[in-house]
Amino acid sequence: MKTLIDLLAIPRFTNLTLLTNSVDATCEIESVEITETPDIAHYIPEKTFILTTAMIYKENQQELLTLIDSLKEKQAAGLGIKVGRFIEAIDPAVIAYANQKKLPIVQIPSTIPLGSLLHQLLNFLRYTKTEQLSYALDIQKQFSDMLVNDVSYERFIDSFGELVNAPVILLNPYKKILACSKHFTKITTSPDYYVKQLSQENIVLTQKKATSLLIEDSKNKKLQVAYYPVEINSYFPHYLVILNPEQIPYPVSDFAIDQAKLVLSFMLYKNQKIQESLEHLKTDFLTRMIEYQQSSSTKERDWLDLGTNYGLIKARHYRIVYIACHSNDSEKIRYKEEESQLTFQWLQEALDPRIKDMSLFKIKNTNHFALLIQHKLDDVETILLAIANEFKKIVGIQLVFGIGNIYDNIQQVAKSFIEAQNAYNEMLLATIDFEKPLTYYQPRGMRNLFEKINMTDIHYFCESTLKELAYPSEDSFIELRKTLKCYLDFQCEIAQTAKALFVHRNTVKYRIERCSQLLGKDIHDSVTSLDIRLALELSEETQDQ
C-alpha cells in the first residue's frame, strides 16, 4: 500500500508540495476524494486523501482548523489544497495547526486541475491494488498446489518465509513451535527465544486479531513482531508469527498474507481430521475391551495382539487414570469439544516423555480421557500434578484425575477403568481442592451403599430390624447389643465371643436367646443375619444423627 510520501516521490506528482512535517506523511492512502463541503469527514472512509480548492474558506482560513480536526478524527491520509484560484496562499497558522495535529497538508499549484489530479492518483492507486491482488492470487495458487501435494508444515513455512523475506514461526494454541523458516539457521537467536518473549507478553492466546508489538531481541534491541491467528477452531487458533514485518517487500500485501493463512488453515484442518479418525479407532478399541471384560463371557480375548497398534504391551502392571477438564457446565458444547481436542494433544505430548509405555485414549461419548499406564510407576501423582499445573499456567484449563487400582493382567483393565471413573465421580460430588485435583479409588463397603439414602429411612430400617437394640439407652439393652454384635463378628462362635467379652459361655448363650426373643427372629438364618449385621453398622454410624 502506498503512502503520501511514496506518491510525492513519483515524477508526475513532484509539483505537489508537502507543507507539513514529512514524518507525518507515512500513513497509507486507500482512496482520493474531491470536495468543497466542510462536513466531508462524515462521508469518507479512513485513509482517504482529500482534494479541495478551499472555496468556502477564502474569507476566513481559520475555519480550516475545524476541517483539520474532523479529518484527523476520521484518520484521513491528508489534505491537498489548491492555491491561486480562491486563496493565494495557505495561512502559516493553518500549517502550524496541521503540524500540531499531525495531518499532512499538500499545496497544489493552480496549473493542475483537481479533476485531472484525482484521475491520476486513483489510477496509480488502483494499479497498485491490482498488482497486489494479482500477486496474492499467484501466492494462493502456489500454496494451494502445496496443499494438494501434502507438503509438511516446515516446507510451507519455509516457502512463506522466502516470500515475505522475513523469519516466520508457526505456533499451536499452547505456544509450541510447529515449524519455522530457514532464516533461523542464519541467525544466532533460536525461535524459542522469541516465543518466550511473546509468552511473557501474555498475548498470543488472548488475542484473536492480527496484531503487532515490540519485543527485545537477544541484544536488547527493540524488534517488531506481527502475529496472525490461523483459525481452524472457534476458540483456540494457531498463530503465524512474522519478525520484522516492516521489511516485507512490495507487492506482498495483507491480502497475500490472508491467502497464505487460508491455505495453512486448510492444511491444519485436514491433518486434525486425519488425527481424529485415528483417535476414533483407539476409542472404539477401548470401548470394546471395557464392555467385553465387563460382560459375562468367560472366553478371554488376546487384547495385547488386538491392541498392538494402540500401544498395548505385555506387562506386570496395568492401571487406568481417568482424566477430565474441570469447566463450567454453562460453557458451550463447541467450546468443550475444542477444549477436549486441545487437551488431548497436550497430554499426548506431555505424557509421552514422562511415562514409559503409556497409551492415551478418548472415552466414547464424552470429552474425557483414559490414560493406560503399563509399568510400575511410583511417582504417578507427582507427574500428573506437574502436568496439570503446566497446562493451567499456559492455557488456563484445570485438569482433574481419578486413579484406579493396579492389576497384573490385561484382562482386568476394565476393573481399573471403572475404579478410576468412580474416583473421578466421587471427586465431583465433593469439594474439589485445586491444589491437588487428584483422587485414588477407595473400595466401598456395604455401609457406603446407603450414603445417599434419606436418614429417616435408615433409622426406620435399623429400628424395625433391631427393635430396642437399635439405639439403646438402658444398660441391659446396651450389653445385649454388644454381645450380639460380637457374636456375629465371630461367626456365631460362643467360645470366642465369651473370651472376647470376658464372660462365661452360658452367659453368651443366655444373651443370644434373649436377643432372639426381642427381635422375634432366628439370628442364625442367613438373610436375617445379614440384615442384623447391616442394621448394627448403620445404627452405630447414625446414632447421633
Q: Which residues pair with 223 in a beta bridge?
A: 215
Q: All 3 cell numbers of residue 202?
A: 501474555
Q: Looking at residue 34, what DSSP letter applies?
A: E
Q: Are the C-beta atoms of 402 and 390 separated by less than 8 Å?
A: no
Is 151-252 a domain of CATH 3.40.190.10? no
pLDDT of the residue at 393: 87
Q: Which residues pair with 78 in a beta bridge?
A: 49
Q: All 3 cell numbers of residue 294?
A: 465387563
Question: Mind listing the pLDDT tens digit for each residue in 414-467?
Answer: 999 999 999 998 888 775 555 678 999 877 655 555 666 778 888 888 899 999
pLDDT of the residue at 207: 53
Residue ranges in 74-171 assigned as alpha helix (H): 92-101, 114-148, 153-164
Q: How far apart are CA 163 and CA 141, in angstroms?
A: 14
3-state secondary structure 328-368: CCCCCHHHHHHHHHHHHHHHHHHHCCCCCCEEEEECCCCCC
pLDDT of the residue at 214: 81
Fold (topology level) of 4-125: 3.40.1390
Regions of the chain where pLDDT drops below 50:
204-206
Please, what is the Cα angle at 370 between 365 and 374, to 5 degrees? 150
Q: Are the C-beta atoms of 513 and 448 separated by less than 8 Å?
A: no
Q: How far apart are CA 481 and CA 145, in angstroms?
A: 86
pLDDT of the residue at 386: 93
Please, what is the Cα angle at 238 between 237 and 239, to 5 degrees? 115
Q: Are the C-beta atoms of 407 and 415 separated by less than 8 Å?
A: yes
- Which CATH number fits the domain 282-440, given the four candidates 3.20.20.60, 3.40.50.300, 3.30.70.270, 3.20.20.70? 3.30.70.270
Domain ranges of the chain: 4-125, 151-252, 282-440, 449-541
Q: Are the C-beta atoms of 404 and 319 separated by less than 8 Å?
A: yes
pLDDT of the residue at 1: 66
pLDDT of the residue at 250: 63
pLDDT of the residue at 435: 62
pLDDT of the residue at 326: 85
- What angle do the packed helices 153-164 and 254-294 form, to 10 degrees? 170
Q: Which CATH class is domain 449-541?
A: mainly alpha
Please, what is the Cα angle at 9 between 8 and 15, to 5 degrees? 55
Give me the amino acid identity at 440: Y
Q: How far apart are CA 30 and CA 117, in angstroms?
A: 15
Reference 372, options 323, 338, 337, 438; nearest CA is 323
